[in-house]
A and B are shown apart, each in its own frame.
Chain A
């Protein structure tokens, strides 16, 4: 089996072509042909698919896509070629249950699930949304860590240090990365969960230099945390990615492969996006030799993934990967609406309903307001994710589909004009870390409404 250096050798010796040629002559035609050949078809009426046969075809199609297309290395303009037998062997060799995260009493094994599994998914709470101050970031993380069911957290990114905007690639990025890590660890021990793993490292880094600097153990990170390494949309890597990967492999950290295929981008519509998204599971497992995977599609125009097509992509991809591999993946929703709005909770509920019965091993808090508004995340959304995930674990796919259709009726047409919602400091007390009365009331109302349509909150 090839190791990482073998792949680097391929990145330096594989077929050479321009990025444009890769996109236009290889990637796009291959996606179109394979989607057709393997009969991958979107069913808009049933956004949460229970079609096992199609899921299995999608999995085979993803292998075919990887074999035909490979992964393009932007810095060498060469293709890292992947071999079918090698991919299949990697899937077979993946050691299930080898993934363990956290320290002390918060050390846990992250296990794969199957469609309609009754095993509670891994609960990865919080977001990497930018926090405007260390105080807000710490308050958010304390809130996430205070949710007893949380298995791991995502921590916010810092956009400013000492009032100066953080420029990627500058010393300020290094400062921000270290500062973010230290603030997160401090917040975690303050809420009594010092061993809880951080699994979105390093949110403040845009470069490999920042990631590597923030990973120095003195600053608080541990190999039992998780580092996210991206495949670029679509089917590409660069030296920044590969350098991160090389370093985290060397220090024996948990590698979290991740990718955000774009619905309406190079992959085309929902079927092509599902194909790319399934292929990324295999890239993570085989090329990145990851411990876990974090995955989501994003719609090109709306920047979220709560619409019908995206729910279908979540569902069919989760089913394809969980039926055919044991690589544990966390699904991540992006809502159009922001915190403290009913619409956010409808969208979050729909995405989670598409994820839990489709076999995802973990669920992350759906990101409010497309994750683009600073401070627009609170522990309330994280709590909702946990409560809803517990409620729908073991649900049958057809029932999830019915519920999702009901929810879509409530928000589908509102996505283009979704409310931005409120920021942490507008709906939480920064000193007491308590939600406002208004937000508490809204939350209870939404829960009652969702219970009313049949979601069995515990």
Chain B
């Protein structure tokens, strides 16, 4: 089996071509041909698919697609090639468990199957930009205080001492290191110093920043997790390969991650599902990841709560969890922000699709598409954790999830197409007391009302 170095060799010796040629002559034609050949069809009336045969075809299609297309390396303009038997062997070699965290918060991430009653891994919080260290620490403390949290995602600062962080500059290094140090402090304040951070390093846009943040003096530990991205679609650059090389050599947990674009190079829902499944397979085989973070994003709306995106989650989750043991966490984006009903409807629909389709875990759904500064509070992750536990424990089947999602879509589908500012919600300082870390009465009321409404609908919310 090829090792990481062998893949680097392929990145400097594989077939050479321009990015445009790769996209137009390889990627797009392959997506179209393979979707057709393996009969990957999307039915909008069934946003959560329970079709095992379709899922298995998608898995085979993804192997075929990866073997036919490879990954394009932007740094060398060459294709990193894979072959089918090698891919299958690589998937077989995946050691089932990734281990994260320290002490009593050391946990093993294990795979789940569709409709599994096992609790999914709760990866709580988001890497949303925050305006101050104080808010960052309040958020991380809040995320870590949720008992179901198995790991956290920490926010990214956008300034250092009032100076905007410019990617690639020394300020990026300061931002990275400062965010990790603050997060560790917040974690011990919450009484969970061993909890793993799985989105390292959120303030880094360059490999230099990410690698700097790994130094033990910053507080990062190999038992945390580092996200290594693909670029949309089927592309990787030196920045990410450098991160991958370093994290592998230092013995850290590699988290492969992707964000395929629904309506982009992969086309509609079937093509996006094909690409997303391929990323997960490549994460296991090529990056030799310990976990994967994955979700589709709708090109025009920037969220993953649309009908088509729910279908992509469900069919990809089912395909990978039925055919591999690679542990995938679903990465979700809502259009609605904190303290909006829309957010809770969208997050519920996404989790219904994710939990019943066999994802090993989930990251709490990003409010307001993850783009509003300070636009998250601990309430949303708490909601995600409670809901996921309820869905899993109930042993909900895909058809029930599908029915509930259809009803939820009626509530928000039209709404997420309106101007985002109307539903982007509020920010942490508007909803929480920054000193006491207590939620406002207004948000208390709204939350209780929404939860009651969802329970009335039959959502198994604990």
Contact = CB atoms under 8 A, between A and B. Distances in A.
B215 A251 contact: yes
A218 interface: yes
B11 to A, nearest CB: 8
Contacts of A239: 168-170
Interface in B199-253: 206-208, 211-212, 214-218, 238, 241-242, 244-246, 249-251
Interface stretch (B158-166, B260-268, B352-360): B158-166
* Residue with the highest number of chain A CB atoms closer than 10 Å, among B8, B212, B250: B212
Contacts of B75: 169-170
Contacts of A169: 75, 238, 242
A12 B166 contact: yes
A242 interface: yes
B161 A5 contact: yes
Interface in A214-251: 215-219, 239, 242-243, 245-247, 250-251
A162 B12 CA distance: 13
A171 B216 contact: no
B55 interface: no
Q: Which 8 A-B pairs have the closest CB atoms?
A: A246-B170, A171-B245, A209-B208, A208-B208, A242-B170, A213-B246, A171-B241, A174-B245
8 contacts: A5-B160, A75-B168, A76-B169, A164-B9, A167-B12, A212-B212, A218-B250, A242-B169
Contacts of B160: 5
Contact of A216 (B161, B177, B238, B250): B250
Interface string A163-198: 010010111111100100000000000000000000
B246 A164 contact: no
Contacts of A9: 161, 163
Interface in A243-295: 243, 245-247, 250-252
B212 A247 contact: yes
A167 B208 CA distance: 16
Contacts of A218: 250-251
A146 interface: no
Nearest to A4: B170
Given A5-B174, A9-B163, A209 B242 contact: yes
B12 A243 contact: no
A351 to B, nearest CB: 35
Contacts of B249: 174-175, 178, 213, 219
Interface in B424-448: none
A207 interface: yes
Given A162-B5, A171-B241, A174-B245, A246 B173 contact: yes
B171 interface: yes
A373 interface: no
Contacts of B246: 174, 213, 216
Nearest to B173: A246
A99 interface: no
A76 B170 CA distance: 12
Contacts of A162: 5, 9
A8 interface: yes
Interface of A: 4-5, 8-9, 12, 75-76, 162, 164, 167, 169-175, 178, 207-209, 212-213, 215-219, 239, 242-243, 245-247, 250-252
A216 B214 CA distance: 8
A290 to B, nearest CB: 16
A246 B207 CA distance: 15
A12 to B, nearest CB: 6
A361 B75 CA distance: 43
Nearest to A252: B217
B161 A251 contact: no
Nearest to B213: A212
A208 B9 CA distance: 22
A334 to B, nearest CB: 30
Given A164-B12, A251-B217, A75 B169 contact: yes
Nearest to A208: B208
A171 B163 contact: no
B178 to A, nearest CB: 10
Nearest to A211: B208
Contacts of B170: 4, 8, 239, 242-243, 245-246
A223 to B, nearest CB: 9
Nearest to B75: A170
Contact of B242 (A8, A75, A76, A213): A213
Interface in B75-96: 75-76
Given A174-B249, A217-B216, A243-B170, A250 B211 contact: no
Contacts of A4: 170
B72 to A, nearest CB: 15
Nearest to B244: A171
A278 to B, nearest CB: 26
Interface string B1-35: 00001001101100000000000000000000000
A208 B207 CA distance: 9
A258 B212 CA distance: 22
Residue among A162, A209, A239 with max Cβ neighbours from chain B (10 Å): A209
B242 A170 contact: yes
A275 B457 CA distance: 80
B8 A172 contact: yes
B238 A171 contact: yes
A170 B241 contact: yes
A289 to B, nearest CB: 13
A169 B170 CA distance: 17
A76, A169, A174, A250: most-surrounded residue (chain B CB, <10 A): A174
A366 to B, nearest CB: 33
B171 A8 contact: yes
